[in-house]
Structure 1
Amino acid sequence: MKLSIRRFPLKTRMVLLLGLIALLQTGALGLFALHYLTSALEEQMGERALHVAKTIASIPQVIQSVETGDSTELQPLSLTLADKTQALFVVIGDRNGLRLAHPNPERLGFSMSDDDDDAVSPTLAYGLAQVTRAEGSLGLSMRARAPIYDAAGEQVIGLVSVGYLLDKVDLYISRYRLTMTMVILLAFAFSVLTAVWFASHFKKAIFGLEPEEIGRLFQERNATLQSVREGIIAINTRGEITTVNQAALSILDLPNEQNIIGKPVTDLLPNSRMPEVLTSDQAQFDQEIRVGDRVLIVNRVPLHQSGKVVGVVSSFRRKDELHQLGQKLSRIQQYADSLRSQAHEYSNKLHTIAGLIQIGANDKALAIIGQETRDHQALIHLLVEAVPDPVLAGCLLGKYNRARELGLVLEIDPDSQMRDLPEWIPREQLVSILGNLLDNAFEATLNHGGHGKPILLTMTDLGDDLIFEIEDRGPGIPDDQQALIFTKGFTSKARAGHGLGLHLVNSLLQQLNGTITIEPGDPEGSRFTVYIPKQQAVKPSPMTGAAND
């Protein structure tokens, strides 16, 4: 069975890895030290042998005996010199390389080239002193050869060879090898203890998790960050961005993640209050800020580790998401009201037509049917020609039926047109603006006793703006209230639940960079005129200081 190191816990892996590294390092250093020591001892031994050989070669007695070939005098002298210098041997040869002195008398008279011809020849031929490591007749040794010159010092008349056995080097190395082995074992034990301490500390720092668990949690964290619709930004103690999800990039119009990770948050968001939370260690919840043309709800929470603040996480979402949901529900409610109004109105008319037929007034019944058909056909024809957008046309048709149900008349200027409706304008916002203004006109007209009176709607898309003009038959708006009617909660009505429609209209127009004006109606009431530019306004970048988080 194949054994994988991943099967072991992180602590065990770290101990094994660090211990193995320490063992390899100390072992390699030990081998290098022993090799270096061996080389140094051999070199030292060779230099000593050379020094002894040169000293013997310069002794007058040796020079005289070599010149005369007196082996009888050289033989005991070489043994005495070898004993005094603690050399393995001292061998003396004549100019032909024949032994005149040797520890083994049986080898006297034989050529020294039997031991090392490469060293003998250069010494005799050129007078070169040499150190060699060779296997001789007495064993493996470090030997040195020095030439013997005549009394005048001009001619080589022989040579001296001094050797030291290398078994002494092995003896010295054995002693150091034992010491080095002890050092290696102590270093290994120390490394294991250090690895155990470090692994325990490291495991504590990562909350006892294994690397595979950390990797899985990291992937889950990234997937979670990218799946949530709220924007998330995190910074470290230096105020540098460490985490950001795609929702945050989209909401704040920031570049891609690779371009902002590691940058100070104040460089991208100059007015960010995240550094303030980093300093104060106080969380901030549900704070409303404006970023360009958007309103955000922001939370900022400090991150703690070992009782210290190590960063800040900020989450935020667009406030208008709730408004958009409300607008969609409002649209559905409008459609439901429209269907209910039509069902109620047609039910009444069907009962009327049925009654006329029962009493024999067929002509009257046909007249009502024809009138109803003509009115709706005219309205539908106008909407099809002037308002191709089905959402806007459906809203107007619903409001037309709602007006009839309330006993009012919604008149749409036959010269109106709204064909050039830009794609960037959200249809639910446009429907919410018109719907609230028309509902406000219906209520104002009814409260002023305006049953049967017309509410006028004019639309045009000529020029650079979309223009909607709604004129009611209400009591009008005093000059001192015109600046207040768009304030949230302000209403001139005694009943609760009012004061939100015009505030929502104004908020939506601000998002669309539009405006609204109020003028007196003709001959009574008020005229609301809405201007929405066709060209989308350029949004200020949060990188230039428009954002607060």
Structure 2
Amino acid sequence: MSTGNAQAERIPLRARFRRRRQTLATQLLELQLLIVVAVLLCVTALSLAQSSASFQREEGRRALSAAESLAANPAVRELLPGAQTRIRSGLQGSVDSVRAISGVTYVSLADGDAVVVISTRPGDVGTAVPQTQGRSETGLVDTSSGKAVEAQVPILGNEGSIIGSAVVGIEYPSIWTRLLQSAPNLLVYLAVASVIGAVGSILLARRVKRQTLGMEPGEILDLVRHREAMLRGLKEGVIAFDAQGRVVLMSESAHQLLDIAYGSAGKSVRDLGLDDRLQSVLTSGTTESDQLVLVGDRLLVLNTVLIESKGRTIGSVTTFRDRTELRAVEEELDVTKTSTDALRAHIHEFDNQLHTISGLIQLGEYDEVVGYVEGLTMERAQISAAVTDKIADVGTAALVIAKIGAAAQGLVTVDLSADSHLGTLERALGRDVATVVGNLVDNAVDAVAEMSETERRTVRLSIRGLGASVEVRVEDAGPGVAPENRERVFSQGWSTKGQSSDGHGFGLALVRLTCRRRGGDVSVSTHTAEGLEWTVFTAVLHDGESA
């Protein structure tokens, strides 16, 4: 088998079928022609029905007029009582005359017993006709040669009695005859309708293709299928809005990350039950990148792209990804970085101390070396013991020691209060306590770091285990928080450093989220001591997440 044939065999049947798909113009033309044919069939059926009714009505009048004329003929009234079947009489001339003048199909005369005695159709002689009960009647009847419109009029004698009846019939044309009569008109209608349908189909196809960016129906169908598959497969959330702020589409991940019920297409963003911060980001119309938003216990990063057409905005698409796990890793890395910075600072300090020890050894002052080393050891032990004696949880103790060392590099003192006491924590609770302690201490250190060196650059830290709860209390004598901002400081995106997307304004929001997830909360207050006004953040976490 040749290479070309082998490749052809490998092409899926569906792909070959797609190549043979008809264009939109062809499909519309076929549809228009089908519609035209269906309309013409209906018109033909209606035309035949109308022509049948019209034929019966008009030809019935003509037949009735001819029958009345024959029944009123004096010769017929005189000769009919004595007429006998199959015996010629003067009546034959009368019926032939009526048939010739009126142009009807047949003319017959029946005697008083309703038996045909004379007729232009010899085969009808001797047959019976329906009794008319003395009334003139017109209708459609079956004859030996087919259907006919027949009129029957009673013939009155000189004394006023009924002596017979005049029967006049006009042959009813068959369906094929009527179709052949209407064929020229129907062909003209078909030709005109086909031309109009073809031109309309081409114009409509061009208009539709302009609106669909030149894509054929099969391509649009494939595009929709691919879009649905993409929306289901994307790990990132995608949500699109039109110019009025209504949902156009939403990916599978978007429903899960935003906790929005399915079937939200067409709803306004205000009807989705989102918090104010998220609504603001989705409807702001700005394209600022990597905007951070807290949704439940998730930290999401949002990016918005505006969709424009002919110079005007017709909607927007927002993508977002979950940064919660990354945030946890960043916090762990922050602890590691803090510890590394502290160790780096200690290295410089140890270098100086080693140089001092080396100089003392060179001078032969061995007793001084021993005393110097013992003093350093005791100092380090006292710093670690001051923390570990109060905090048994290793992770929390390590974080506090690292924060104390890092703050010291910025000439800020972090004092662990004497009433601090904390046992070993369950691992998940330990991570949450580290999140709360780290963010509250960092905020306090940043606040007092802005003060001059002559002011009180001290942060007080208290960590207490209260049964199944943990209380974290952080105090600083920095600029403080204005009373009107005491709730706003816990709002995501709000910061004394200004609102931005670089991570400011989320530390305290994460603290509140963590505390409330643990069934507790965080608050801010002030008190005066030692002549200074202290800002106090108090956070409470319970052992076990809230329901």
Is TM > 0.5 for Structure 1 vs Structure 2? yes
59-68 or 160-169: which moved more?
160-169
Q: Is 1:529 matched up with 2:536?
A: yes
Of residues 31, 35, 49 in structure 1, which corresponds to 2:63? 49
Query: 1: distance between equivalents of 2:461 and 2:535?
Result: 10
Normalised to the residue count of structure 2, the TM-score between the two structures is 0.65
- Deviations along 1:343-393, one digit per CA (max 9) or x if unpaired, are 9999999xx9xx9xxx999x9999999998998689556433xx5xx7534
Amino acid at match of 1:37: S
Per-residue deviation at 1:468? 1.4
Where 1:33 maps in the other structure, the secondary structure is: helix
Where does residue 122 of structure 1 map in the other structure? 131
CA change 1:265–1:244 in 2 (3 A) is farther
Alignment equivalent of 1:144, drawn from 129, 151, 166:
151
Pairing partner for 2:126 from 102, 108, 111: 111
Contact 1:142 1:164 in 2 (8 A): yes
Letter in 2 for 1:21: I
Aligned pair partner of 1:180 in 186, 196, 200: 186
Matching residue of 2:28:
14
Equivalents in 2 of 1:406, 1:308: separation in Å? 53
**Displacement, 1:74?**
0.8
* Residues 517 and 275 of structure 1: CA distance in aligned 2, closer, same or farther (over 3 Å): closer
- CA deviation string 1:391-443 (max 9, x = no partner): 53442354467789999996553653488999799556414324426866998
Is 2:147 aligned against 1:161? no
User: In structure 2, what is the equivalent of residue 539 of structure 1?
Assistant: none
The letter for the 2-side match of 1:416 is H
Aligned residue identity for 2:152: R
Which amino acid is the alignment partner of residue 149 of structure 1?
A: L
Q: Does 1:89 align with 2:89?
A: no
Which letter does structure 2 place at the counterpart of 1:144?
A
Partner residue of 2:73?
Answer: 59
Q: How far did residue 191 of structure 1 move?
A: 0.9
Give the distance between the partners of 1:436 and 1:501, measured in 2 at CA. 13
Residue 316 of structure 2 is aligned to residue 313 of structure 1: yes
Rounded to whole Å, the distance in 2 between the matches of 1:444 and 1:169 is 105
Q: Secondary structure at the match of 1:122?
A: coil
SS at match of 1:530: strand
Q: Deviations over 1:228-251 (max 9, x none)?
A: 756644124x56443455777788
Distance 1:98 1:273 in 2: 100
CA distance in 2, matches of 1:274, 1:86: 91
The 3 A distance-change label for structure 1 pair 21 and 394 is: farther
State the one-letter code of the partner of 2:192.
Answer: L
CA distance in 2, matches of 1:441, 1:217: 55
CA distance in 1, matches of 2:437, 2:248: 42
Q: Does 1:331 align with 2:335?
A: yes
Q: Is 1:199 aligned to 2:216, yes or no?
A: no
Deviations 1:261-285 (A, max 9, x none): 24486998999899999xxxxx744
1:74 matched to 2:91 = yes
- State the Cα distance separating 1:45 from its structure 2 match: 2.1
Query: 1:204-224, CA deviations, whole angstroms, 9 ceiling, x for partnerless residues?
Result: 110111223323333444566
Once residues 338 and 317 of structure 1 are traced to their aligned partners in structure 2, the CA distance between those partners, rounded to angstroms, is: 36
1:122 is aligned with what amino acid? Q
Distance 1:327 1:139 in 2: 102
- Do the aligned partners of 2:407 and 2:445 also contact (CA within 8 Å) in 1? no
Separation in structure 2 between the aligned mates of residue 406 and residue 275 of structure 1, nearest angstrom: 39
What does 1:471-490 align with in structure 2 at a 5 Å threshold? 481-482=479-480
Amino acid at match of 2:78: Q
Aligned length: 484
Q: Which SS does the other structure have where 1:458 is aligned?
A: strand
- The change in CA–CA distance for 1:366 and 1:483 in structure 2 (over 3 A counts) is closer
CA drift of 1:194 comes to 0.8
Shift in alpha-carbon separation, 1:429–1:31, aligned structure 2, 3 A: same
Q: Is 1:301 equivalent to 2:306 in the alignment?
A: yes
Q: Which residue of 1 aligns with 2:219?
A: 213
CA–CA distance in 2 between the matches of 1:483 and 1:135? 112
- Secondary structure, counterpart of 1:301 in structure 2: strand
Matched residues in 2 for 1:176 and 1:502: separation?
86
Distance 1:533 1:54, change over 3 A: farther
Deviation at 1:187, TM superposition (A): 0.9
Q: What secondary structure does 1:208 align onto?
A: coil
Contact 1:142 1:165 in 2 (8 A): yes
Q: Tell me, yes or no, if structure 1 residue 101 matches structure 2 residue 118.
A: yes
> Does 1 or 2 have the higher relative contact order (CA < 8 Å, sep 6+)?
1
Given residue 85 of structure 1, which amino acid in structure 2 is its aligned partner? S
CA RMSD of aligned residues (A): 5.9
Where do 5+ consecutive residues of structure 2 fail to align?
1-12, 483-488, 490-494, 516-520, 543-547
Deviation (angstroms), 1:185: 2.5
Deviation sequence 1:462-517 (CA, Å, 0-9, x none)? 5999341458xxxx76xxx5569x98579xxxxxxxxx999886676687774455
Contact 2:260 / 2:272 at 8 angstroms: preserved in 1? no
CA shift in 2, pair 1:41/1:193, >3 Å: same
Taking every aligned residue pair, what percent have the same amino acid on both sides? 14
Pair 1:338–1:240, CA change in 2 (3 A): same
Aligned to 1:460: 464
Structure 1 residues 468 and 437, CA gap change in structure 2 (3 angstroms): same
- Structure 2 SS opposite 1:286: coil
Distance change >3 Å, CA 342–CA 133, structure 1 → 2: farther
Tell me how far apart the structure 2 counterparts of residues 211 and 286 of structure 1 sit (CA, whole Å): 37
Call closer, same or farther: CA 1:96–1:258 in 2, change over 3 Å.
Answer: same
C-alpha distance in 2, partners of 1:82/1:443?
127
Cα gap change, 1:23/1:392 in structure 2, threshold over 3 Å: closer, same or farther? farther
Change (3 A) 1:67 1:444: closer
Structure 1 match to 2:140: 132
Deviation at 1:160, TM superposition (A): 1.7
Counterpart of 1:180, as a letter, is: L
The residue that corresponds to 1:286 in the other structure is 288
CA change 1:532–1:176 in 2 (3 A) is: same
